[in-house]
Amino acid sequence: MVKVLFVCTGNICRSPTAEGVFRKLVEERGLSHEIEIDSAGTGAWHINQAPDPRSQEAARRRGIDLSTQRARQVIPSDFNEFDYVLAMDEGNFDRLAGLCPSGFNSRLSLFLKFAPELGRREVPDPYYGGEDGFDVVLNLIEAASEGLLAEIRVRYL
């Protein structure tokens, strides 16, 4: 079983969206029994809350249901549990690097590493922006999800 953890700041916008998008992709490819998917935040502000309603609505328009997800905070043992710990931006990457136990650094990377064709390193936080920001996030996440799944298939499946 390959395990993937998506991480943003509060686990209510970008990382639950990534969890939902990647889960749908994995299910469509018939790989649910091979890949486990979760998300978390580096902060504790939204623990046990559902994803932001705007994230849920944007995802729902693309056939993705985020409503059952609940926010949690990342913990150091996640690095032992997950094969991929994927940060949405540099700030969260740095926070995760500070939590990462010695010997597990290779599991941590920026999520958009899997979509180099985009020419971007970070998935922007749509929380304080307009509605269109959530669609931008979905577009970036969909592209990186394809790249991530391609790597997992080559490395593990």
Q: Which active-site residues does the annotation give? A: 8, 14, 125
**HSE value, Cβ hemisphere, 13 Å, CA-based, for 81:** 12
* Of residues 13, 23, 4, the one with CA closest to residue 137: 13
Q: How many helices (H) and strands (E) does the chain have?
A: 5, 4
What token pair was written down for 11? 């686990």
Rounded CA separation 156/26 (Å): 14
What token pair was written down for 156? 């593990």
